[in-house]
């Protein structure tokens, strides 16, 4: 009932290139660094990888082969998967579908990006509204934040506290773009960007790479892989926006996608131990934990203040630092979430380990809007 058929699927290796400000590092260097780390983690050689899906949205068309050739040109199928901020999540899903369908037994999902070509579907479609090009995406979420405060009574300080927690987690993550723990005073410091949002309540768009290797049950045995470090893919769901009236579409889409992913995984929201979710702007984390059913509607701010979403709390949210502090290089982000959950579920996260993490959930929304949710677990 995983939505992926009856074959058991395992994440056997993960790797990252640190997320960072845009630099002169070529994207093949970013990507190959993550792939080599994932191969070493899995105990696999590149020649054993049978297919590759590359999540990418901002770098260039056709970027896969100029990257993978540096690992040895083996002739395997490779292609790019673009789904806005959910590109990496969708590439991981395609790798899962490929192995689940029995086409291959070893697939790699890689996210890689540099912010070289930022495009807009609204512009391409010739769409215009009364505000037009005068606002950035941050204003969409600033409007949403005003609505959330009106509906729940949450204060700007309570919402900003999301960035305090996630920066604290990122300070323990060697791959984070913003590796510094921040106080509430620092998070609230000017300049204001839009609405209630200050700079540190908006995620940085940078560069980086992430990789995750998915294998079949039979490959675990035939390739002699370490079953103790294998993490099970319990479900994979990808949905797109329908019409929700005046309700917030990102939250409504998150609610329905998460409900499907939990049902297909055979777990309830209360059984989830670790969550990586799309916190591009602080208010999103509060909206989405409510939409996912991790707390009661309107109660996220007080639950956060009570430490329920901390490492060691009731359910740890964004142990990596999230998009806000680990960073959001677009293509890598969704794969990086799988890397963080895998590390947590293996109990290998060191100082940022959430105790006894058994079930993890990864969530991304992407412009469009689309939403991808994966549930992973250790057996």
Partner 1 sequence: LLNAYQANEETIVRTAAHPRLYDPLMHDPVLNGVECAQCGHVYFPPVGIGCEICGAPADQLQPKALTAAGVVHAVAEVHLSPAKTATPFTVAEIVLDDGPLIRAMVHPDVTDGLKIGDRVSARWSVIGHEDEGADVVEPAFVRDPEVRR
Residue 136 near partner 1 by CB under 8 A: yes
Q: Cβ-count burial of 193 within 10 angstroms (0-12 exposed, 13-18 middle, 19+ buried)?
A: middle
**What's the token pair of residue 276?**
């990586």
Q: In this chain, which of 36, 147, 314, 358 binds partner 1, going by CB under 8 A?
A: 147
Q: Which is nearer to partner 1, 128 or 379 (CB)?
A: 128
Rounded Cα gap, residues 312 and 314, in angstroms: 7
Q: What whole-number distance in Å separates Cα of residue 233 and Cα of residue 299?
A: 30
Is there a contact between 314 and 296 (Cβ–Cβ < 8 Å)?
A: no
* CA dist., res. 314 & res. 308, Å (int): 5
**Binding to partner 1 by residue 143, rule CB under 8 A?**
yes
CB of 105 to partner 1, least distance (A): 40
Q: Is 49 in the site for partner 1 (CB under 8 A)?
A: no
- The reply on whether position 282 binds partner 1 by CB under 8 A is no
Number of amino acids touching partner 1 (CB under 8 A): 27
Least spacing, CB of residue 286 vs partner 1, in Å? 16
Which position among 9, 32, 144, 304 is part of the footprint of partner 1 (CB under 8 A)? Answer: 144
Closest by Cα among 348, 30, 127, 31 to 339 = 348
Site for partner 1 in 153-212 (CB under 8 A): 191-195
Among 146, 157, 305, 310, binds partner 1 (CB under 8 A): 146
Q: Nearest distance from residue 252's CB to partner 1, in Å?
A: 13
Question: By three-state DSSP, how is residue 137 classified?
Answer: helix
Whichever of 248 and 299 has its CB closer to partner 1, that residue is 248
Which of 103, 97, 116 has the alpha carbon at shortest distance from 59?
Answer: 116
73: contact with partner 1 by CB under 8 A: no
User: What SS3 class is residue 275?
Assistant: strand
Q: How far apart are CA 295 and CA 301, in angstroms?
A: 10
Nearer to partner 1, 68 or 197 (CB): 197
**Minimum Å distance from CB 295 to partner 1?**
23
Q: Please list, in sequence order, all residues whose beta carbon lies within 8 angstroms of the beta carbon of residue 155, skipping any fewer than 6 positions away.
A: 149, 301
Cβ neighbours around 26 below 10 Å, total:
12
- Specify the residue, 143 or 347, whose C-beta has the smaller distance to partner 1: 143
Return d(Cα 134, Cα 131) in angstroms, integer: 6
Q: Which is nearer to partner 1, 61 or 118 (CB)?
A: 118
Stretch that binds partner 1, among 68-76, 124-132, 177-185, 231-239 (CB under 8 A): 124-132
Q: Does 134 bind partner 1 (CB under 8 A)?
A: yes
Give 149 or 272: the residue with its C-beta nearer to partner 1: 149
> Which C-beta is closer to partner 1: that of 51 or that of 282?
282
Decide if residue 127 touches partner 1 (CB under 8 A).
yes
**Tokens describing residue 359:** 């079930």
Smallest gap from Cβ 170 to partner 1, in A, equals: 23
> Cβ 44 to partner 1, closest distance in Å?
44
Q: Please report, as residue ranges, which positions from 213 to 272 form the binding site for partner 1 (by CB under 8 A).
A: 243, 245-246
Minimum CB separation of residue 194 from partner 1 in Å reads 5
Looking at the Cβ atoms of 297 and 350, the one nearer to partner 1 is 297
Closest CA relative to residue 369, chosen from 272, 263, 251, 288:
251
The residues with which 320 forms a beta bridge, in sequence order, are none
Which of residues 32, 38, 110, 142 is near partner 1 by CB under 8 A?
142
Do the bridges between strand 370-377 and strand 359-366 make them parallel or antiparallel, or are there none, so unpaired? antiparallel
- DSSP letter at 189? P
Q: Alpha helices, DSSP H only, in 272-350?
A: 282-291, 300-305, 322-325, 331-345
| Of 318, 217, 257, 243, the residue nearest 5 (C-alpha) | 217
Residue 311 CB, shortest distance to partner 1, in Å, is: 32
Which span (11-19, 128-136, 273-281, 333-341) binds partner 1, by CB under 8 A? 128-136
The whole-angstrom distance between residue 87's C-alpha and the CA centroid of its chain comes to: 9
- Residues interacting with partner 1, by CB under 8 A? 127-136, 138-139, 142-147, 150, 191-195, 243, 245-246
């Amino acid at each position: 009932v995983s939505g992926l058929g009856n074959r058991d699927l395992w994440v056997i290796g993960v790797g990252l290139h640190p997320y960072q400000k845009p630099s002169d590092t070529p994207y093949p260097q970013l990507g190959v660094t993550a792939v080599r780390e994932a191969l070493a983690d899995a105990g696999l050689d590149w020649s054993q990888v049978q297919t590759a899906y590359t999540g990418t949205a901002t770098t260039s068309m056709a970027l896969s082969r100029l990257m993978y050739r540096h690992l040895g040109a083996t002739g395997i199928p490779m292609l790019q998967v673009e789904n806005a901020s959910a590109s990496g999540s969708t590439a991981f899903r395609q790798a899962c579908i490929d192995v689940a369908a029995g086409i291959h037994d070893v697939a790699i999902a890689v996210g890689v990006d540099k912010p070289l070509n930022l495009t807009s579907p609204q512009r391409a479609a010739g769409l215009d509204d009364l505000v037009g090009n005068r606002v950035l995406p941050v204003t969409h979420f600033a409007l949403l934040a005003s609505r959330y405060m009106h509906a729940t009574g949450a204060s700007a300080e309570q919402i900003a506290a999301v960035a305090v927690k996630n920066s604290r987690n990122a300070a323990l993550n060697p791959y984070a773009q913003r590796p510094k723990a921040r106080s509430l005073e620092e998070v609230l410091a000017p300049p204001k960007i839009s609405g209630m949002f200050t700079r540190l309540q908006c995620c940085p768009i940078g560069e980086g790479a992430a990789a995750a290797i998915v294998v079949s049950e039979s490959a675990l045995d035939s390739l002699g892989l370490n079953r103790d470090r294998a993490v099970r893919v319990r479900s994979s769901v990808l949905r797109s926006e329908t019409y929700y009236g005046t309700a917030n579409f990102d939250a409504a889409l998150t609610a329905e996608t998460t409900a499907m992913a939990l049902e297909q995984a055979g777990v309830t929201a209360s059984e989830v131990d670790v969550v990586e979710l799309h916190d591009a702007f602080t208010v999103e984390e509060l909206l989405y934990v409510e939409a996912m059913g991790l707390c009661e509607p309107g109660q996220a701010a007080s639950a956060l203040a009570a430490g329920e979403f901390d490492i060691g709390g009731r359910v740890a949210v964004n142990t990596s630092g999230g998009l806000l502090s680990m960073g959001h290089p677009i293509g890598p982000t969704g794969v990086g979430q799988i890397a963080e959950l895998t590390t947590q579920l293996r109990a290998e996260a060191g100082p940022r380990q959430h105790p006894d993490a058994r079930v993890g959930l990864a969530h991304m929304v992407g412009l469009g809007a689309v939403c991808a949710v994966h549930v992973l677990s250790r057996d």
